[in-house]
């Protein structure tokens, strides 16, 4: 397994493969009827992904925005395993806000963050309702922190890979990490970020709470 970080390439691959006028609904269209379209998407994505080292069975693309393409990823890349990590909405949005992501404009405003989160959650609920249960694996962040080994084994099994004890010492990896989590992945698992929003003045989070409530 090799980690490639947040690649932001599936959207581009699908856009190039589909073209500006072509419509494809991966939930309702029959894959057999749209095989050439799916093949073009897969080819464009894999070419953008680049070569995988010999012997590596999985390459990890942890682009957050991939949640919007869950059905299309599953249709174009049937061997892909999609893992969806859920976290407390307040904690999630607060983490995004504190990250100061220059390229993520909606994360600069708590109200906009809440509205985006609500739309994301609604989309994931939609995928759960219309896709097979095996289409993606939900993993709760809080459960992962409190029961790490069992959750790690669950994830590895879902990926169809053999268990490796090194999964429990992930922080000892020497691979380069270029995403915002670079510092965290060099540390053992910690629980201090669970319930992070509880330590913030409620008045400061009022716009976020209102947006999340709709």
The per-residue pLDDT for range 158-196, each reduced to its tens digit, is 999 999 998 888 766 665 555 555 555 545 677 777 888
What is the total count of domains within the chain? Answer: 2
Q: How far apart are CA 84 and CA 62, in angstroms?
A: 10
Classify residue 68 as exposed, middle or buried by CB count within 10 Å of its CB (0-12, 13-18, 19+). Answer: middle
Q: Tell me what the mean pLDDT of segment 132-155 comes to.
A: 95
Residues 51 and 135 in one domain: no
pLDDT at 88 over 70: yes
Per the structure, the complete domain to which residue 100 belongs is given by: 81-214
Please compute the mean of the pLDDT values over residues 120-140 and round it to a whole number: 96
- The helix/strand count (H/E) of the chain reads as 8, 4
Dihedral angle computed from the Cα positions of residues 203, 204, 207 and 208, in that order, rounded to the nearest 10 degrees = -120
96 and 21: one domain? no
pTM: 0.83
170 and 211 belong to one structural domain: yes
pLDDT at 186: 47
- Residue 21 confidence (pLDDT) above 50: no
Q: What is the per-residue pLDDT for 193? A: 79
158 and 120 share one domain: yes
Residue 43 confidence (pLDDT) above 90: yes
Residues 162 and 207 in one domain: yes
User: Which of 158-186 are b and which e, b meaning 16 or more Cβ less than 10 Å from the residue's Cβ?
Assistant: ebeeeeeeeeeeeeeeeeeeeeeeeeeee
């Amino acid at each position: 397994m090799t980690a490639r970080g947040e690649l932001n390439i599936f959207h581009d691959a699908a856009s190039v493969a589909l073209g500006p006028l072509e419509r494809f609904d991966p939930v309702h269209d029959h894959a057999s009827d749209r095989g050439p379209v799916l093949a073009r998407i897969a080819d464009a994505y894999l070419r953008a992904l680049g070569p995988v080292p010999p012997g590596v069975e999985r390459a990890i693309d942890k682009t957050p925005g991939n949640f919007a393409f869950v059905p299309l990823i599953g249709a174009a890349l049937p061997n892909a395993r999609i893992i969806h990590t859920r976290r407390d909405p307040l904690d999630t949005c607060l983490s995004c806000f504190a990250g100061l992501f220059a390229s993520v404009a909606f994360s600069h405003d708590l109200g906009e963050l809440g509205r985006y989160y609500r739309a994301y959650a609604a989309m994931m609920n939609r995928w759960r309702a219309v896709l097979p249960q095996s289409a993606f694996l939900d993993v709760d962040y809080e459960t992962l922190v409190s029961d790490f080994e069992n959750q790690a084994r669950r994830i590895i099994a879902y990926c169809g890979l053999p268990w490796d004890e090194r999964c429990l010492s992930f922080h000892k990896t020497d691979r380069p990490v270029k995403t915002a989590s670079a510092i965290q992945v060099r540390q053992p698992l910690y629980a201090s970020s669970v319930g992070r929003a509880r330590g913030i003045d409620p008045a400061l989070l009022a716009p976020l709470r209102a947006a999340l409530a709709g």
